[in-house]
Chain A
Amino acid sequence: MLHSIRNTFSLGFKSLWNRRGTAALTLASIAVSAALLSVVDRVRTDAQVSFANTISGTDLIIGARSGDLNLLLYSVFRIGNPTNNISWNSFETIAERREVDWLIPISLGDAHKGFRVLGTNLDYFEHYQYADGRTLDLSDGSTFTRATDAVIGAEVAERLGYEIGQPIVISHGLTATSFVTHDDNPFTVVGVLARTGTPVDRTVHISLAGMDLIHAGPGEFSLPSSLDSYEPDAITAVFVGLKSRVAVFSVQRFLNEYEREPLSAVIPGVALQQLWGLIGVAEYALLGVSAMVVLAGVLGLLATLLVSLNERRREMSVLRSVGARPGHVFSLLLSEAALLAFLGALAGLLAVQLAVILVRPYALAEFGIQLSVGLRVFDFAVLAGILLIAVLVSIIPAWRAYRNSLADGLTVKI
């Protein structure tokens, strides 16, 4: 039995090799379809993981009244712009609540050479968590002690080639080439954060005092003696950690009903769910299209096999004459389809691996998506699925060859 299967596959392989031109094209179309399916699913799941890993341990995000998603996107992912600021008074009110464990004020709106600038205080380095509770680590230098100190993310350091002591100029506004730059207020890089795989890597962190310094006119701002006691007029958003998660909903309700200014408080997980809901439709559409491409690939395989049947009638009756049974002819056709599908899908999946290794750094730098290398369960499902569909579909040409071999006898008129 095993011997006969090996026989059939070695014959099938030689037969395909003999027609390697068309076989290679069929194989390529299957490879492309497998690769597409694998890539779509990989990017989809890796993007979800990367997004979900961006913030951890924060129970609430508070900002000016806006949509939950908008608040999440600009405060955590640095995507889009804040609608409005919230006053320092509100920050202090929140800080006074007994459910609150810690608060991180953040202030956004400026950029340095295309990287977002985030004003905050030292609590950020102590309490901000990502990827299941990991806190930020410095790979070099220290956190800021002066208003003009800056701590940069790993990606900023790498791309701009900055080291400790590098003087930098922060422009007002978000574009890389802003008209208003403040050459008279240079900042100094004092620390570089270890890589996190989150938007933190692409952020320049400065103190809240430094943030106000940028926006003040010449001579309007005097540097504070201590950063700890510095109080800005307004900030963009607040990350809140509670002593007990049980209090989340009551604190959220309090903030949403806060009367002195309109606030929004969102639970990061809930906002992320909204995000999935929004992009889920597109993801499934992409997966659906990819599945259709797989179907097209397999139909191409079917067409190739069917077209080859007529010119192979002679070969089939030769095989019959040397003792091959109709079942052998049937399984020869199946083995060819299986080989094409298996090798094609495998080639596609391996090509994806290679591509992922190549574009990984770029995906991380540009989109903050940490692509994973290595075959996954889904890839094996793709492989098995394509193999199964190909074998099922090739029953049609195999059955035809079987019928032909019975009808033709030992002679085919050509």
Chain B
Amino acid sequence: MSEPGAEYAHAVSVEGLRFGYTAGEEILSIDALVIEPTQRVFLYGPSGCGKSTLLSMIGGVLVPQDGRVSVLGQDLSAMKGSGRDRVRADHLGIIFQQFNLVPYLSVVDNVCLPCRYSRRRLQRAESDDGTVEASAARLLSELGIDDRLRARRSTELSVGQQQRVAAARALIGRPELIIADEPTSSLDADRRRDFVSLLLTECDSANSTVIFVSHDQSLASHFDEAIDLRAINRAERDSDAA
């Protein structure tokens, strides 16, 4: 099995990125941002400072008007939409703030979802645990989801359980990059710490790079590096100044 992840130098590299949803209104302007493989990065900043927008670009769903975004050595800005979709499906695991799960699928089906869209992650999940379902079951139990909950519909779970299911889904098939966009904001303080340490343990065993976005700086100590988006986003600085 080819491991395209072997040769790249940076997990994520951003150069001269500029982005605005409407013309003349710039939200992001980042000269350089580099995240090394297997690094755990904590990205923080107040809401509205462009964190989610930056993640959408790393996720290959949005494209910058200017500049380059590379993920695992592949230049997303040079790719067509289908190419970026393929990179995301094969190499990225994404966790949102809330409502991560498809309401009409069971817990296990939700976790297996990425393997429907990526042959690579399907094969990796199968080589890890034999079958995709076994892989999902292992991740769920490691993340503390009771066996009895697996067949339940995702909407029957508590918010904390839903977030852990979303983490299992992001981790299935060992994607190289895990992106978590405020995954703990709907959890209380104890559960926040539990969630972060569980997630990071799993990412360690999968050798995944982690970009964890939050406005709650108390979590920063769990990570190798903390980046204040306001410090690197010139657009934000400009608008603050104005």
Instruction: Contact check, A411 vs B102: say whether CB atoms are below 8 A apart.
Output: no
- Residues in B with CB closer than 8 Å to A306 are none
Q: Does B181 contact A (CB under 8 A)?
A: yes
Interface of B: prevailing SS: helix
| Residue total for A at the interface (Cβ-Cβ under 8 A) | 24
Q: How far is the CA of A314 from the CA of B100 in the complex (A)?
A: 8
Contacts of B89 in A (CB 8 A): 322-325
A323, B118: Cβ atoms closer than 8 Å = yes
Question: In angstroms, how far is the closest chain A Cβ from the Cβ of B88?
Answer: 6
A409-B53, A410-B96, A410-B181 as given contacts; A321 in contact with B59, CB under 8 Å = yes
List chain B residues, Cβ under 8 A from A411: 52, 55-56, 96, 181
A318, A319, A326, A414: most-surrounded residue (chain B CB, <10 A): A318
Q: Does A245 contact B (CB under 8 A)?
A: no
Contact digits for A19-30, partner B, Cβ 8 Å, 1 yes 0 no: 100000000000
Q: Does A14 contact B (CB under 8 A)?
A: yes
Answer yes or no: B148 CB below 8 A from chain A CBs: no
From residue 71 to 126 of chain B, which have CB atoms closer than 8 A to chain A?
Answer: 81-82, 85, 88-90, 94, 96, 99-105, 109, 113-114, 116-118, 121
Task: Verify if B227 is at the interface (C-beta below 8 Å from A).
Answer: no
* Residue pair B104, A18 in contact (C-beta under 8 Å): yes
Nearest CB in chain B: distance from A298 CB, A: 24
In the bound assembly, the distance between CA atoms of A180 and B173 in angstroms comes to 93
B100, B109, B117 — most chain A CB neighbours (10 Å): B117
Question: What residues on A are CB-neighbors of B59 within 8 Å?
Answer: 321, 409-410
Instruction: Give the docked Cα–Cα distance between A7 and B55 (Å).
Output: 28
B61 at the interface (CB under 8 A from A): yes
CA distance A409 to B116 in the complex (A): 20
Question: In the complex, what distance in Å separates the CA atom of A328 from the CA atom of B100?
Answer: 18
Contact of A319 among B56, B62, B102, B118 (CB under 8 A): B102
Q: Is A318 in contact with B102, judged by CB distance below 8 angstroms?
A: yes
Which residues on A are within 8 Å of B, measured CB to CB?
7, 11, 14-15, 17-19, 314-315, 318-326, 328, 406, 409-411, 414
A–B pairs, 7, beta carbons within 8 Å = A14-B104, A318-B100, A319-B113, A323-B89, A323-B90, A409-B53, A410-B96
Q: Which 7 residue pairs of A and B lie closest in terms of their CB atoms, listed nearest first?
A: A323-B89, A18-B104, A323-B117, A409-B56, A321-B94, A325-B85, A322-B114
8 more CB-based (< 8 A) A-B contacts, given A323-B88, A411-B96? A11-B105, A14-B109, A315-B103, A318-B102, A321-B59, A323-B114, A410-B59, A410-B181
